[in-house]
Structure 1
Amino acid sequence: MKSSEESGDGGTVQVFVEEKGFARILILNRPRQLNALSFGMITALLKHITAYEEDPNAKLLILKGEGKAFCAGGDVAEVAHSVDECHWTNGAIFFWNEFRLNYLIATYSKPQVSLLNGIVMGGGAGVSIHGRFRVATEKTVFAMPETALGFFPDIGSSYFLSRLPGFFGEYVGLTGARLNGAEMLACGLATHFVPSERLAALEESLTKLGSSDPFAVCAVIDNHSEQVPLKETSALNRLDVIDKCFSKKSVEEIISALELEAVNNAEWALAAVQSLKKASPLSLKISLRSIREGRLQSVGFCLVKDYRVSCHILRKEASKDFFEGCRALLVDKDKNPKWEPSRLELINDEMVDRHFSRVDEEGWEDLKLPVRQGFGIKLGSKL
């Protein structure tokens, strides 16, 4: 049985739903936008995933994307436009719902299998990496490119980035480095690697499984998966040097350490330096603090923190970098953003600290997460 959810884009069906056996398949369907999450898509996913948790005939979820992307992220251009046209709270509503969706997936009682066949970035990671099973392929491209947009790795990513080997999460989150499927598997972002030509067979096998037992689901995926070697040029083969550089206390010290490595013709270090110097300086400082704090926070705390930071950014309190990044990279596409503050040394601790505090505006409240069995967060606690 097949149904759909229509929202936006002139009535285009943005989320397809297929019911096959005991599996419920959710298909992101904005291929021309690389399946970037619109507000309507987030609302539809919330509705369906919530309903399936209560449906005894729905044993597992399968999430995939139409076209060459799984999901390239949240539609941040839509968010920026809505804020410019109306009020900053329009953008806050988008993140409120997106982060609640992320939390629902992170605490879901039934297995979710995400088929990451293509681009997986930003918000696309939020609807997949928090789930139990993440299947990468040879076509997978993963990245958290937010600092280049004047934003920060949100969607609770400070929870999973901070738990990658060593300081690899800082490297991925600050530089926006792209990882392939083999690298995702090696660092733990993916649970399995299945060649794309076997995905149809895997999906068919999963639809025949009448069980929510994660061990049974894992066994089915294992039967279709394989181990893949890392390329010699993979940054994961240089984890000791990455740890040495990205364990530094500040962004300035990280860049200095990388520049020393680049002197020795380390191409990956030179590429990392170039990425960091192109990114928003304020975004880099916010991102480093967020990932570092994430090591000691639950996924719920990370999402509440992300909502606070997002709201401050939308209010343009210390900087308009997010809107400038969207202009330069997504709208005008001149790829020449004018960051303000323009240099790391112009950013003081108070500017960064403000982004992690409660928003001082009447009517504003912290992100409220649904009560989930076995999970809890005291929102009154100090973040």
Structure 2
Amino acid sequence: MIDLLSNQVKAWDESKLCKLVIGRGTGRAFCAGGDVKAVPEKQPAALEFFRKANFTLATLRKPYVALMDGITMGGGVGLAIGAPFRIATETSQFAMPETKIGYCPDVGATYFLPRLDGELGTYLALTSNVIKARSIVDFGLATHYVPQRRLPALLTALSSLAEPSADAINRTIEEHSAEISPEDPPSSYVGERRRVLDLCFSHNRVESIIEELKNVAGSIESQAQWANETVAAMEARSPTSLRVALEAVRRGKHMELADALQMEMGIATAFCTGASPDFVTGESIIEAAVKGSLPGSGSFALTRAELIASFEQKHGRKVGLRQKIEDTIDRKCKVKDGYLKWTG
């Protein structure tokens, strides 16, 4: 199936008749991964395929929209993350679950995870935790949030575009997006939670991350449960996988996509050929079961309202944009004489 998909994508990209590529799944998932089962026994061909397929999707010349409706995990992430337009719904679930099975995040994860805001990518890479619905947009892994019931109308509208430019596609998706209402539960990864997450996962040693989480559990009551649960999750993961994943994410931050994919191929080869027994054991178990310095005053200083207005003028009133800006201001700025000052 993967070979057919790769060939078809190339054909679409080269076709003069194809103006827009839309990726979607059937049933309850966009793509739930599950591709690791055959990797150890078909290692050379499988690894080379995934490297080429993920690079092809990430470098399409045609506009690409990925409907991340339902489960999008592991290999499924590789099919979606390269799309300039990635749509989450209320049923969306995202994870890179590799450390659960003694493996390391791949499909370009070492490239895109470290480019998420703060240490969100490091957190996802090490914990394998699942994030859902609007949180996928908050993390920057999806670009838009569209209720599932609106997807048929959205698909019709996208398919009807005579000239599907990036601006036209974005406007069309925005027209079908849902506003955040007061009844919607707040994101779990803003405010104090984000501050301690970035603090804990900024370390370059797994032991230091766990130690920092334990310090948070003992000193910040409001975050104690989250910190303890995160420690428990990490201690249940393969120690080898955690260390390799952390190093790969740190290195991937400074790599181009092609180089990160090549690094992942080398890591996968090592896991599959016995550098660590954790991967084969793990998959068998599954088979069985504002940077710079904003001045505090002066002609270049901005108030909170001015900063938000400047972003909305440039990017439009995109759903979730204001909330993202406000959370960043709360975490990264302080107010001096009515103006924002970047504190980092």
TM over 0.5: yes
Other-structure match for 1:239? 194
Counterpart of 2:38 in 1: which secondary structure?
Answer: helix
Question: Does 2:164 align with 1:203?
Answer: no
Structure 1 pair 144–309 and aligned structure 2 pair: CA distance change class (3 A): same
Other-structure match for 1:51? 11
Other-structure match for 2:103? 151
Other-structure match for 2:131? 179
CA deviation after TM superposition for structure 1 residue 223, in Å? 0.8
Other-structure match for 1:271? 229
Compare the two structures and name the one with the higher helix fraction: 2
CA deviation after TM superposition for structure 1 residue 269, in Å? 1.3
Other-structure match for 2:297? none
The letter of the residue matching 1:332 is A
CA deviation after TM superposition for structure 1 residue 78, in Å? 2.4
- Match of residue 243, structure 2, among 276, 285, 288: 285
Query: How far apart, in 1, do the equivalents of 2:259 and 2:279 lie?
Result: 23
Query: How far apart, in 2, do the equivalents of 1:231 and 1:168 lie?
Result: 20
CA deviation after TM superposition for structure 1 residue 233, in Å? 6.2
Kindly provide the CA deviation profile for residues 183-237 of structure 1, in whole angstroms up to 9, marking residues without a partner as x.
Answer: 1111211010000000010011111112241111111111101243774461344
Question: Does 2:262 align with 1:304?
Answer: yes
Counterpart of 1:139 in 2: which secondary structure?
Answer: coil
Counterpart of 2:104 in 1: which secondary structure?
Answer: coil
Q: Which runs of 4+ in 1 moved over 3 A?
A: 227-233
- Match of residue 77, structure 1, among 37, 60, 63: 37
Question: Does 2:72 align with 1:117?
Answer: no
Query: How far apart, in 1, do the equivalents of 2:55 and 2:214 lie?
Result: 38
Other-structure match for 1:104? 56
User: Residue 39 of structure 2 contacts residue 47 of structure 2 at CA under 8 Å; is this kept in 1?
Assistant: no
* Unpaired runs of at least 5, structure 1: 1-40, 84-89, 334-383
Higher relative contact order (CA 8 A, sep 6+): 2
Other-structure match for 1:257? 212
Other-structure match for 2:27? 67
Query: How far apart, in 2, do the equivalents of 1:236 and 1:128 lie?
Result: 25
Kindly provide the CA deviation profile for residues 148-174 of structure 1, in whole angstroms up to 9, marking residues without a partner as x.
Answer: 110011011111110111111100110
Structure 1 pair 219–232 and aligned structure 2 pair: CA distance change class (3 A): closer
Percent of residue pairs bearing the same amino acid type: 37
Counterpart of 1:56 in 2: which secondary structure?
Answer: coil
Question: Does 2:271 align with 1:313?
Answer: yes
TM-score, normalised with respect to structure 2: 0.79
* Unpaired runs of at least 5, structure 2: 290-344
User: Residue 147 of structure 1 contacts residue 153 of structure 1 at CA under 8 Å; is this kept in 2?
Assistant: yes
Kindly provide the CA deviation profile for residues 115-172 of structure 1, in whole angstroms up to 9, marking residues without a partner as x.
Answer: 1110110111100011111000010010111001100110111111101111111001
Query: How far apart, in 1, do the equivalents of 2:241 and 2:279 lie?
Result: 9
Superposed CA RMSD in Å reads 1.4
- Matched residue count: 283
Query: How far apart, in 1, do the equivalents of 2:262 and 2:34 lie?
Result: 18
Other-structure match for 1:331? 287
The letter of the residue matching 1:258 is L
TM-score, normalised with respect to structure 1: 0.71
